[in-house]
Amino acid sequence: HSPEGFDCVINGEYQVSCLRDGSEVYFPFSFLKNYFEVYGKIVSEDGEERFEWFHSYSKIYHPKGKYDPKGVFMYFDNYNVEVRERVKCITASEGVPVSTQWEPRGYFYPIQIAQFGLAHYSKYIAEAEPNRLVLEDGDRTKALWFVADGASFTRKFLTDINNFVIEFNTQESLNSKGIELKLSESLTDFILNLNLKFESNGSVEVIVEDKEKKSNFHLFYVCSDLWITSKGNKIFHGLGDCNSWRRLTRDLLVDLQKGQSLSEKGKRILRSRARVTAVIFRGVGYADNITLSSSEHLAHFYDAADWFVKHQDDEGGWPIDVKRHLGAGVEDLDAGWYSAMGQGQAMSLLMRAYYSSRNEYYLSAALDAVKPFQALSEDHGVKAVFMDKYIWFEEYPTQPSSFVLNGFIYSLIGLYDVAHAPDSMGSEARDLYIQGIRSLKAMLLLYDTGSGTLYDLRHITAGGAPNVARWDYHSTHVNQLLLLSTIESDPVFATTAKRWQSYMNGKRAPHN
Amino acid sequence: HSPEGFDCVINGEYQVSCLRDGSEVYFPFSFLKNYFEVYGKIVSEDGEERFEWFHSYSKIYHPKGKYDPKGVFMYFDNYNVEVRERVKCITASEGVPVSTQWEPRGYFYPIQIAQFGLAHYSKYIAEAEPNRLVLEDGDRTKALWFVADGASFTRKFLTDINNFVIEFNTQESLNSKGIELKLSESLTDFILNLNLKFESNGSVEVIVEDKEKKSNFHLFYVCSDLWITSKGNKIFHGLGDCNSWRRLTRDLLVDLQKGQSLSEKGKRILRSRARVTAVIFRGVGYADNITLSSSEHLAHFYDAADWFVKHQDDEGGWPIDVKRHLGAGVEDLDAGWYSAMGQGQAMSLLMRAYYSSRNEYYLSAALDAVKPFQALSEDHGVKAVFMDKYIWFEEYPTQPSSFVLNGFIYSLIGLYDVAHAPDSMGSEARDLYIQGIRSLKAMLLLYDTGSGTLYDLRHITAGGAPNVARWDYHSTHVNQLLLLSTIESDPVFATTAKRWQSYMNGKRAPHN
Ligand SMILES: [Ca+2]
Ligand SMILES: [Ca+2]
């Protein structure tokens, strides 16, 4: 005998085509995956096929040791913020991402910028030294430059920076030839890094070839405030102020991808098909230390940290200039709100920048960032109080309060990092951290559904269905608890992390 | 082609034998039912077989109208408390159930007694008038009695009760013949109801025949404080005080079942196989109004209400004389605790007894039952406070507080019933009810897991995994909210009930 088709009636509501073999009835995965929201597919290994069923799609990263305010930030060495679709581009003026998540024209989102910086810092710590090829430094390494008719090119010692640099003087027009460095076919890295200063309205052009199509993309970095624009195979990033020395670090593949996305969403050239073929300068200016690397994490990290130093306001905050609609029953946040998570992640970033550079202004910015934690949400701060009892720091300082869990814990990690500032400078942060941990211990299990976690407590404050965390937020919760378990003695963090992780494999809390 | 065996790997942990048919993979229900705890079976209808899948096994009862403190209590007309296995017996002394749930020797559990009474009250309202056959009333209906040698039998007018009764004087020995009434084979009812008074240590015996086996069971109601005992086919219930007039109402099949269970757990003679063949009196005494009925709900109801009047203590409570172990992290309750649910259900019962009888002592007991709501759990009351803010009434007044949801709502219903007492006698209950509803509105969604409900909040107060409500408690939550939605204007009760009911069909709250 063999299995036969059989009708299955689901909760008296609808019918599914099953198979029956004796007393056993078999349900199709196409039904199960929707009914239970599980995952799975047929996989093949060594010619053997099988079906792999997964209860969740997320991953847990077990910390390797005690959390260190100077070390890798959680598992952020696995993050790649800039390739996310909701990142419009990395600005060439400040080297930070622009978000389009809640506003398609784009805006600076402190959380995203901090995560970009923390990811690069963590990769810097976790990864091996990059390949780094200096193409031209005006001094020890000299490249062969093709100089257009009527243009000039020299190498020159500048006393203000005490260094040999290249000096060029060409037409500004992007159609003109400029001075051009053609690159060897053997180069396979895509991080361009150089020092740059224009005396005029100049530009840097980088040509990237699609090896398969034998066609070229042209990346232009121009003296302008624009973020990104494209026209055909030309992609433009604005350098902002061109007339002072600055270091420009570009992930050329990211710039290319973002440019391509402007015309065709999600399109992305494969690394293996791309090759950097030329660097061209136009206008009047100087360049130095032109380098192609496999990565320049520290440079990206400092770009992010510098953004926070530059854009911190008088209240110590980084206002978010986009309206935020959280959901029914919760008032929208008007542009200009602070986020405890944004503040916290910035603090984690800035403390690392301070430790790594010993520049006091990073420390100072991190200490100032604590201020919004002292003010209630309705007073433009980030503090909420649960049931008049437990102080909470709000990722979204809404009315009524929303009590987003992961944002709160990120803010606690930021406070922890500042709490460890030298001398007793971190005492204010330390007090807030201690209060926050007390709240977290009291409230953590409010997020436990017995088979997953809740993203926030808006159902308690605003009514309606609980807002269940999708698996990647759930795994963030687990990862955060695992981190806290390395710095807090209360076993609730490790115990809860373990149970919450088991939910990802379909385990459930017992019922009575 | 036909479906073939296929290996399925579950979360990388273990393997299940599936079927594959092209790109569709089928999972056996034997796996699914354990993994997801769903229910189902093959059913046959009109010769057609199909599989019926159920997400839950419980039922929702939609209220027919606004909740009425004088009416049917929820859906308790569907309850049959006495047949539950954890009911040791219905005492013949007071006509109330004895629980063995947490203590095998048995104890009086106010909640069970109240539910027994409320179930019978609700059946009394909801059901049609019973069959009722008077066998002997000493006056208008006279039966044929077989009188043993040396025994006497007369019909006599007693001035103290102003009624004709039968008088008997026989040996006390249960082996003696007594006076016997043989019953017609046409009788199919099993509720025996009579007035009774002994001058000596007498007894009532009822013979129930197993028609198939042609064997007899002997139910003895004896002058003793015992609850129930058995010896072979003889089952003994104690009448308590025999020497005053009292009304005895016995469900003979229940008495038989409880007796059989003493020797063989769960054994139960089928109604269709049983027949009452004789009633025998022994000793010196009187009887009257000997009746066999299909039901005597009001008699059982008053037995329960009278128990509450008789056993209420000076603090207005019904102490529960059994230790209660709730779970890890929660201190055991020592014998003598009050339950807000016990108080509340008693109040619902007593108010109905008052309305139905107009006996003031029922009202008075109901009003006194409010007192333990004013005292905190640690002060032998039933009041807890959630996060120093919301007053709660505890089914189990534990340390730390447990915040059992269904028990709290039952207590609120009891308060509501007393709040509607005549004049302004219910004002104290009304204030407590209003406070309780305020807490319930604020805390209700703490129990919502997005796919079911929690039984209590012990995970918040004592730590550990949330205590998920099994489906019958979940459906109780839904039924309770549906009741509240008929007396409270806040839409949260109906909205939440609807969502919670949808969970029973596998629906889930959305994730982000
Ligand atoms: Ca140089
Ligand atoms: Ca009579």
Helix (H, G, I), strand (E, B) or coil at B217: strand
Per-residue pLDDT tens digits for A402-455:
999 999 999 999 999 999 999 999 999 999 999 999 999 999 999 999 999 999
Percent of chain B with pLDDT over 70: 99
CB contact set of A21 (below 8 Å; sequence gap of 6+)? A1, A2, A3, A4, B19
Surface-to-core class of residue B293, CB atoms within 10 Å of its CB (0-12 exposed, 13-18 middle, 19+ buried): buried
For residue A186, what pLDDT is reported? 87
User: For residue A96, what is the DSSP state?
Assistant: -
What is the arithmetic mean of pLDDT over A355-378?
A: 98
- How far CA A426 is from CA of A243, A316, A351, A423, in Å, comes to 38, 15, 11, 8
Residue recorded with tokens 């009708």: A7
Angle at CA of residue A175, ends A171 and A176, nearest 5°: 35
Residue A76 has pLDDT above 80, yes or no: yes
Q: Which residue has the higher pLDDT, B1 or B383?
A: B383
List the 41-100 stretch of B: residues with Cβ below 8 A of A.
42, 49-55
Contact B37, B452 (CB under 8 A): no
Contact B191, B292 (CB under 8 A): yes
Whether residue B27 and residue A26 make contact (CB cut-off 8 A), yes or no, is yes
> For residue A228, which amino acid is it?
I
Residue B85 has pLDDT above 80, yes or no: yes
Q: How far apart are CA B500 and CA B477, in angstroms?
A: 8
Contact A349, A304 (CB under 8 A): yes
CB contact set of A159 (below 8 Å; sequence gap of 6+)? none
List the 352-391 stretch of B: residues with Cβ below 8 A of A.
386-390
For residue A46, what pLDDT is reported? 87
Residue B176 has pLDDT above 70, yes or no: yes
Per-residue pLDDT tens digits for A449-493:
999 999 999 999 999 999 999 999 999 999 999 999 999 999 999
Helix (H, G, I), strand (E, B) or coil at B268: coil
Residue A1 has pLDDT above 70, yes or no: no
User: For residue A304, what is the DSSP state?
Assistant: H
Question: Is the omega angle on the peptide bond into residue B400 within 30 degrees of 0, that is, cis?
Answer: yes
Instruction: Label residue B1 by pLDDT band (50, 70, 90).
Output: low
For residue B264, what pLDDT is reported? 79
> Could you give phi then psi for residue B268, rounded to 5 degrees?
-160, 120
Structure tokens at A124: 């810097």
Instruction: Label residue A510 by pLDDT band (50, 70, 90).
Output: very high
Residue recorded with tokens 């997964």: A54
Per-residue pLDDT tens digits for B370-412:
999 999 999 999 999 999 999 999 999 999 999 999 999 999 9
Whether residue A30 and residue B24 make contact (CB cut-off 8 A), yes or no, is yes
Angle at CA of residue A27, ends A26 and A30, nearest 5°: 145
Q: How far apart are CA A392 and CA A438, in angstroms?
A: 10
Host H or E run for residue A364: helix A360-368
List the 5-44 stretch of A: residues with Cβ below 8 A of B.
6-13, 18-21, 23-30, 32, 35-37, 40, 42
What is the arithmetic mean of pLDDT over B422-445?
A: 97
Rounded to the nearest 10 degrees, how much is the dihedral formed by the CA atoms of A145, A149, A151, A155?
30
> For residue A392, which amino acid is it?
W
What is the arithmetic mean of pLDDT over B277-292?
A: 97
Written as one string, the DSSP assignment of A410-469 is HHHHHHHHHHTSSTTTTHHHHHHHHHHHHHHHHHGGGGB-SSSBBS--HHHHH-SS--BP
Q: How far apart are CA B430 and CA B401, in angstroms?
A: 23
Least confident of A184-198, A273-287, B254-268, B490-504: B254-268
Nearest by CB to A468, which of B40, B450, B459? B450
Structure tokens at B2: 């036909």
Residue A155 has pLDDT above 70, yes or no: yes
- The sign of the CA dihedral B63, B64, B66, B67 is negative
Chain B residues touching A390 at Cβ < 8 A: 387
For residue B289, what pLDDT is reported? 97
List the 408-467 stretch of A: residues with Cβ below 8 A of B.
442, 445-446, 448-452, 454-455, 459-460, 463-467
Arithmetic mean of pLDDT over chain A:
96
Q: Which ligand is nearest to the CA of A164?
A: 1
Helix (H, G, I), strand (E, B) or coil at A427: helix
Q: How far apart are CA B497 and CA B110, in angstroms?
A: 28
Residue B123 has pLDDT above 80, yes or no: yes
For residue B46, what pLDDT is reported? 87
Contact A383, A394 (CB under 8 A): yes
C-alpha B167 – ligand 2 centre gap (Å):
11
Contact B391, B435 (CB under 8 A): yes
Per-residue pLDDT tens digits for A128-152:
999 999 999 999 999 999 999 999 9
Chain A residues touching B505 at Cβ < 8 A: 11, 13
How many residues are listed for chain A in this entry?
512
Q: Which of A136, A245, A138 is nearest to A196 (CA)?
A: A245
- How far CA B387 is from CA of A2, A455, B131, B460, in Å, comes to 61, 21, 55, 10
Q: Which ligand is nearest to the CA of A194?
A: 1
Whether residue B35 and residue A499 make contact (CB cut-off 8 A), yes or no, is no
What is the arithmetic mean of pLDDT over B2-27?
A: 94
> For residue A470, which amino acid is it?
R
Helix (H, G, I), strand (E, B) or coil at B345: helix
Per-residue pLDDT tens digits for B227-280:
999 999 999 999 999 999 999 999 999 999 999 999 877 677 888 999 999 999
For residue A42, what pLDDT is reported? 96
CB contact set of A264 (below 8 Å; sequence gap of 6+)? none
Q: How far apart are CA A295 and CA B143, in angstroms?
A: 107
Per-residue pLDDT tens digits for B310-366:
999 999 999 999 999 998 899 999 999 999 999 999 999 999 999 999 999 999 999
Written as one string, the DSSP assignment of A117-131 is HHHHHHHHHHSPPPP
Nearest by CB to B25, which of A51, A506, A511? A51
Whether residue A511 and residue B12 make contact (CB cut-off 8 A), yes or no, is no
Percent of chain A with pLDDT over 70: 99
Helix (H, G, I), strand (E, B) or coil at B470: coil
| Beta-bridge partner residues of B154 | B167
Contact A383, A375 (CB under 8 A): yes
Beta strands in A254-343 (DSSP E): 274-282, 284-293
Q: Which of A349, A390, A404, A343 is nearest to A371 (CA)?
A: A343
For residue A266, what pLDDT is reported? 64
Arithmetic mean of pLDDT over chain B:
96
What is the arithmetic mean of pLDDT over A59-79?
A: 95
Whether residue B7 and residue A42 make contact (CB cut-off 8 A), yes or no, is no
